[in-house]
């Protein structure tokens, strides 16, 4: 089973706990703002960003999230984080 982290805020739990050495993401505006990058840098985490036009590099992950959204998230009324965790655990 895959592990997922679902919670509000800017950083997933492992980043807050300092377990991550490198954080990889694309160059979307939400990932390049100081509000997002500074907490990573403050923890000594290196930031790796995919190059422009490299969307096909993570096509499998993008497809997975599309499937999760359309086949689970949009079809279920999730009221709490706990419901989402349990439901997604069952989905996978």
DSSP for the chain, written as a single string:
-------SSSS-HHHHTT--SEEEE---HHHHSHHHHHHHHHTT-EEEEPPTT-GGGGHHHHHHHHHHHHHTGGGS---SHHHHHHHHHHH-
Per residue in 20-78, pLDDT tens? 777 777 666 777 788 888 888 888 888 877 666 565 666 777 788 889 999 999 999 88
What pLDDT shows up at residue 47? 81
CB 49 within 8 Å of CB 24? yes
Predicted structure pTM score: 0.43
Per residue in 10-33, pLDDT tens? 545 555 565 677 777 766 677 778
């Amino acid at each position: 089973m895959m592990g997922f982290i679902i919670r509000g805020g800017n950083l997933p739990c492992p980043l807050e706990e300092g377990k991550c050495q490198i954080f990889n993401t694309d160059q979307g505006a939400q990932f390049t703002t100081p509000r997002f990058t500074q907490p990573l840098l403050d923890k000594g985490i290196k930031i790796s960003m995919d190059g422009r036009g490299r969307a096909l590099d993570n096509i499998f992950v993008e497809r997975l999230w599309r499937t999760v959204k359309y086949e689970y998230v949009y079809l279920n009324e999730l009221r709490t984080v706990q419901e989402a965790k349990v439901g997604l655990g069952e989905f996978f």
